[in-house]
Structure 1
């Protein structure tokens, strides 16, 4: 049991268990995807989880698949939780699921496109002020460090930002997460969040997936869908031909 508590004491190891809970049977490469850590560090964390019997592995050809083993967690629950607090905790758990369902019910927009370019070039196109101005009509301005502010500024010389937010996560050429709101906008549930996930497919193609979450309602979802479809189509044309569409779709 000591090994279990030691394994659970680290936030990265808990995140790995969460990812296996969401999608069991992942390879090391899949588990590393989206984590700003080296493969060696992730391997060490997985070794501690295996030693605590929280993760089991099996081979599929040359791949090693990792599976969440819930038995030690169940033993903790039975020993210290269930027999003392079962009725009250079940009620709280039901309330938590209801609240999470209400939050997840908010509309989100997801768009995936395939671009003939390298991940570095797509990343540059998303974060470079000059390139974003060329195909987006606005300049994305930030130092792109987690916690830093970012602005979506007009290119008419006014310096006005139509969208502002914070950089939540930035892994160059892999993943960018930003909050998204109009300046001074009052959003009781907080700003929406935009995630850019870049996945290389071979040497010359990138799968770019954009997820816009925490949208207020269906009207805002329709607005996001129209805007992102136009912007990402123009981005793809710009990177593949060297120039944006002659008539931007949002004109």
Structure 2
């Protein structure tokens, strides 16, 4: 697991070892973005106990807290679990496990709603540098393979345009909120011709001394197929962004190609 220290993995495994904390993660998996009261109520758990367990999960980066007004919403962060899966599962038995998961999903008739997707990464950069990386067409072309084009004003359109010379646009949307350099909210339409409401992506940039915590929240997903796609797509894109800002260059191979090779 490149870039993840043994100490960080120890924290993750210790957090997962407790059945109460696993139950809290299950609650967030079923319904992401819950307040402390919402998490506690169906479990019959005291707020103080839940807070202590959630603090452990936050320190392990398994849960992230997003502030919306006066509320603190708790989201399951799949990053560490994704890293565990890549190291101990993906290389060995992924096809068989995927087939078993498909059978299980069909047998259980999975939930009607698709949970939100939240991913958190920490970058050694300023908030202004991260904002520029998210909104500058030339920079997005370097780490994403597409140029994100807009004036990034609320109400303006934006395009996710290929840089292979074709000029093809794979994603379009509208800027809903723009508060440089800390918050950007956009709609995300990867199938513009389809008659469905677009999903919504929020970038929250939180500076702390010499680092930034970047939280990407993808909401209103239409189906599990799209959630599966972004679950491998966002970690790859954000890893490339992090590499560019911290080293001055992107990763030597496009990280999303690795996911395709091991599919």
TM-score scaled by length of structure 2: 0.55
Q: What CA distance in whole angstroms lies between the structure 2 residues aligned with 1:161 and 1:212?
A: 20
SS at match of 2:134: helix
The reply on whether 1:192 has 2:221 as its aligned counterpart is no
Q: CA deviation at 1:183?
A: 5.0
SS at match of 1:246: coil
Q: CA deviation at 1:232?
A: 0.4
Q: What CA distance in whole angstroms lies between the structure 1 residues aligned with 2:112 and 2:134?
A: 27
**In the TM superposition, what are the counterparts of 1:213-228 in structure 2 within 5 Å?**
213-228=219-234
CA contact (8 A) 1:161 1:183 kept: no
Match for residue 218 of structure 2?
212
CA contact (8 A) 2:133 2:140 kept: yes
CA contact (8 A) 2:172 2:192 kept: no
Match for residue 115 of structure 1?
123
Match for residue 201 of structure 1?
208
**In the TM superposition, what are the counterparts of 1:145-156 in structure 2 within 5 Å?**
145-156=153-164
The reply on whether 1:243 has 2:249 as its aligned counterpart is yes
How many residues are matched?
Answer: 156
Q: Deviations over 1:21-49 (max 9, x none)?
A: x679xxxxxxxx778xxxxxxxxxxxxxx
Deviating beyond 3 angstroms after TM superposition, the runs of 4 or more aligned structure 1 residues are: none
- The structure that has the greater radius of gyration is 1
The reply on whether 1:172 has 2:165 as its aligned counterpart is no
SS at match of 1:250: helix
Q: 1:34 to 1:159 in 2, by over 3 A?
A: farther
Q: 1:104 to 1:143 in 2, by over 3 A?
A: farther
Q: Deviations over 1:170-191 (max 9, x none)?
A: 0011000000012533143x00
Listed as ranges, the gaps of 5+ residues in structure 1 are 1-21, 25-32, 36-65, 68-102
Q: Deviations over 1:206-241 (max 9, x none)?
A: 000000111122221111110001000111011000
Listed as ranges, the gaps of 5+ residues in structure 2 are 1-34, 38-66, 72-110, 258-263
